[in-house]
Structure formats: C-alpha cells, structure tokens
Structure 1
Amino acid sequence: MTSAPAASAPETSPATPSPRCLVGVVGLGRMGRAFAENLLADGHPIVVWDAFQTQIDAMARPGVVAATKLADLAECDVVFSSLPDDEAVTAVAAGAGGLVKIMKAGAVHISMSTISPTMSRRLAAWHGECGQGYVAAPVLGNPDLARARTLFILAAGPDAAMQKARPLLDRLGQKLFVIGEDAAAANLVKLAGNVLTALTLQSMGEVLALLRKSGIDPRVGFDIFTNSLFDSRVHRTYGGKIVDERYSPPGMTVPLAVKDLRLALAEAETNSVPMPATSLVRDRLVAMVAHGWADLDWSALGLLAARDAGLPDLVAPSSQAQSDTRGTNAHPDRAAAPVKLIDQVYPPSGSRPAPAGGGSSVLIA
C-alpha cells in the first residue's frame, strides 16, 4: 500500500456560507440529518432520501424536496451520503438506480460514512468511470458536534472533486484536513482515530473501576487526570460518560464500533501490522453485544470494566434511556461508599496520611 501524502494544515471554517448549489443528502440518521439541516440553513436547496419514509417526513420544511427514489437526486450538483457500513453504501451507490447511474457528469458524491478503504476505492473508480467526482469525508465527532458544526472532517479525493466539495465541507465542521487524492486514505485515518478512541475508553474504564473499588470517588480521578496529563477531548468527553454511567442515547452504538475495529484490523492484517490491543478491545465490544448492550454508547466499555470488577451498576443498563429522559443521572440506589481523607488519596511528598477524624477535606465515592 502506498503511503498517503501528508495532510494539509487544518483549516478553520469560514464565517460566510459557500456558493449556493442543489445538494442531495442520502441517509437521514442523526448525523445525516444534522448535515441536511446545516446545509439548508446555509441557503442550499436540498433533496433528501432515506430508506425509511419516517426519516424523510421528519425533514419536511420549506426548501427541502422529499425524494421518493434515488433518481430524484439526478439534478443535484453534490450528493452527501451518511450511511452505516459498506453494504449500505454499495446498495445506494451501485444498486439498481443508484447514485453512480443517476448522477450527472461533473456532479460529486461526498461520502461522510465510516467505511473500509477498499470500498472507498471502489466508489472512486465507479464514479470516475461515469465522469462523476468522489470525495471521502468521514468525520471525527458525534451528532451533537455535527449539529454545532464543530466536527473534524477528514477529506481525500481528486483535486477537481475536492475543489467542488471544499466550500461545503468547510461549513460543516470546525476544521478540515485534506489528506490527498486517494479517497481511501481518509477512511483509513478515520478508522485509526476510532481505534485510538476505543483504546482510550477501555483504559479509562479500567482505571476508574480501580479507583471506585478502592473507595475513591472516580470523579476525583477524572478531575485529576483531565486537568493534568490526560486533558484530551476524548478523555474528557467519554471519561465523563463513564463516571456518570451516561451511556444513552448513544453517540456511537456498540455494533458500529465493532464494525469499525473489524475494518481497522482487516487493514492491519493486509499490511502485516500487529494490533494486539485493538484485537482485545474489539473482543470487549463483542462482549457488550453478548450482554445485550447493543443500543448503548461504546463508552459503556466502562460499564463492562465495572462489572468485571464486581462493582454494582449505578444505573441499570436497561434503564439508561429512561434515566436520561429525566435530564439527570442521580443514583438514588447508590450504596454509601467508604470515605477517604484527601491526604490518603494523594499525600504530599514526605508527609504522613492524616489520622481518621482529622480536619482534612474528604472525598466521598
């Protein structure tokens, strides 16, 4: 596999909307709908399509054309797709009446999906044969960040297609990284990013379970770590979900995470790159599916770590959604945990722990 060109410096999204054009959006899940709403807010007339009519109906508003079939997107200058996996993308792009067959020459398909690099290369070839452009533009971030236009977008594709896609992509995220002309490179970088996130979730879950079982409030550890050496967005965002056991609604469901790590491991095998830690975490995600937690966020790796440590659930996995609808994560059934003096948690160098009953501040688990 040839190495990809170095990514360009990230570019901050411009304050002004991109030139107006007719835009199609295929796939109206939480991410796709956020893209559609932001494109519409920028003044672009949009045509939307989804496999489920209810998703199309939910987008009914002025400026939106509801497509009854993919052929209704034939006049679009650009078509975005936000789909769950290779199979869904293949059906939409190469199936009967799919995008490859109906898009006009010069139009550009921008795939925001997390798919395999192999699939991305196929899409680029299919579109290229029909005189169409193809840009892979997977994202780092979740649907909330998509709505707020604060995603990090990883883009790759031929220069002509990229020039057409760039003004739109600039508006959908806070930073755009243009990786090169090989569309597959963007998908591989995206998979690599998800591997890093999954490994971080596993490690956060383990250390927070260790603190909690030792009688230390895991929020104290979370506060210390994220305000010292581990202050990344991933540690803060997902570590916060773990300490609060806030796993629903999911930003990334467990089956999608399993799929992404499987794709990354397939690329690693093809290139003879051992990834033992990734293999382990992939199996941990499969274990979550076996527990019946497929509808939870992948940060529930922290819940699995707590279960393995013999710790009781603060919120039962089956009641996650109901808990979140109350707008709080209070845990009325939480048993009182041992109290440790703060000096016993991280005593100053050369000092002794304060005696029980002393005047130090206390930490309550």
Structure 2
Amino acid sequence: MLEEGSTPFAAAAKRLARNVVCATMMVFPVAISTSASVSAQTAEAPMPPRVKPDPNAPSAAGSDQIINLLDREPEPLFSDVEMPYTAPSRSLTTGLSDGLDQGALYLMAKLTRDSKPLDDGLIWRIYSEATNANGRLELIATSMGGDAEFRLDPGAYLVHTAYGYAQSTNRVVIGKDVQSKMLTLNAGGIKFGAAMKDGNGIDETQVTFDVYGMTFDERGERNKIVGDITPGSIVRLNADTYHVVSRYGDVNAVVRADIQVLPGKLTEATILHKAADITLKLVNERGGEAIANTTWSVLSAGGHVVVEATGAFPDFVLAEGEYEALARNNGKTYLHNFEVAPGQDREVEVVTAVSELETQETSNSN
C-alpha cells in the first residue's frame, strides 16, 4: 500500500502535469486501500511485452543527498536481493509440483526505492519464454497477494506483475538454485472526484471517468487504460502522466485533463463540470400537463443536433450554453430557445399556444 511520508521518485514521470481550468489536483502521501476487487482486472491474463530487461543489471547505489524528483536516477526495476530470514508468508504457486531438479524463485515488490515491500494487492504471473503451438506464451503459474514463491524447472521465464493497473514484465533465468528478486514498480494512484464549477452539488451517479495514455496510435486515438470509473474510486497506475476524460451524463458535458501520477503518492483529482440537468415538456399552456408521444431534437447555437429523444419528459445533462428545442407532435413542430447555466437543473416548457409562440417570436426579435 502507499506509505505516508515515503520519498517518491519517478523514472517515467518526465513530463510535468499540465494544469487546466477544469481540474484541481492535490497530492497527498496517504494510503491506498487494497480491499477493492481485482476480478475485472484479472479476468484475462495479459500478454507480456516483447522487451525484456536485463535481469543481471546492478542496483543503483544509494545516496544521502536530496535529489530533485524528476532528476533522480531510477534503480533497476528487477534486482537481486538477499534471501529473507523468514520464508514467504504463503506459497500460492498453482499447477507445479516440488522436485529436486527444480529451482526456487522468491518474488517481492514495492512501490518505490524507499518504500516497504507490498503485502497485498499483487498479482504475479509466470510465463514461458517460448511460444506454444498457437503462437502464444504459456502461463505457467500464478500467485495473488504480497510476496510469492515459485518452484520452476530450469529455463528462461517472463515474470508479469500487476498492482491494479500498474504493470511490469521482467525476464528471469532459473537454474537449480534459489533466487530472490525485488521488483520496484514506480507506481502511484489517482482518487477521482467531481464537482460543479460554481460550487453547486453534482449528481455523482451520472459522472464517470476514463483514463487514457498520452500517446496516439496510427489512427490518431489514445490507448484506453481503464474506463467507467466512478467518483471516489482509486486506480493504481504506473508513475506517468495520463489523459483523463470525465463525462457528466450521456450527451455533451465532457471535461478533459492531463493528470500526473507520482510514485508512492495518491493524486486526488477533482474534475469541475459546467452543466445542468434539463427536463423538456411540451404543454398547451404554462404549467400544463406534458403532451405524450412527442419527438424532440435539441440543437446547439450553431444549429447542430446535440441529442434526440421521444417521450413526454426527456431528461438530459447538457453543457453550459444556448440551445434550441424542437418538439414535434401530431404533425406540428414547436420551437423554443433556452439557456443552460452550470448547476441550475430545471424544466424547460415548450408551449403550443399561438399567443405564447407570438410572444416568443417578439422577444427573440428584440
């Protein structure tokens, strides 16, 4: 879990987060809960990448001087450590049998160079380095929790480690001896929140977040890391900068922000929306009953269709701005201009009475 007061470093966080007017960020060295379910993340074991770091790379030498967060040199992610005095708290190796001709691999992981080893929330997967007949890497063994111990036949393997959505893959060569490895994840987390720009309350049940990488593929699209995150959720990620998209409702209330994750830290990101919940009604007179079987179109100030619906009480969350409502009923079309102000949820009535329509036209012409 994230340690309070730990000294962070960021090998991957080479870009400072760009503050935008729609998001506020606060970084606190507080603990991330490890009780969240990981079933959605573990439904299908991910394929490890082709890049294989050198398992024999020496650990970086320690230093007592104060080093700038972005200038500090990273230590190797996968390094040898002395065998602990006590055996692992549990051995969760699956599908393997003990044998005198096998080697032992003991694995531990921590968030940063200076933090303590994690005791929960880790998922270890051991893959064969060679592909099978289907061209895929074979999953040899798995373990969940904190530290892990595996008994493996001599050979080369790929070790995939996941802590939430923070992941790392490393290569290890096993003989008939005992090896102990420490993985430094360089990971942190984001806690998501949402609020209205003017301070009014927001219906958090209609707010979701999606997290994307910063780079684009050949089609000009970002890689989606995780989606449909609800306010208050904590997502563990590798230390880096991420593009976060927050949606309020299902129409056009969308806010984007670039947010930086620091190793060993929890970033609290509150996305500020400027929108309101609007209910449309077609009535014969002001305050009258809504007319059923009405078809609706909401147009932007530029005349583009924003959303369409059918019913007596269509309800939308719309971004701040000016709109025109078109109501069609019994072969007739009725128009009404309205404005959306942040946080001001309300009903918008479209009146069929001729006197009301003439009043609207006179008001619009002035």
Greater relative contact order (Cα < 8 A, sep 6+)? 2
Under a length normalisation based on structure 1, what TM-score does the superposition of the two structures give? Answer: 0.26
More strand by share: 2
Higher-Rg member (1/2): 2
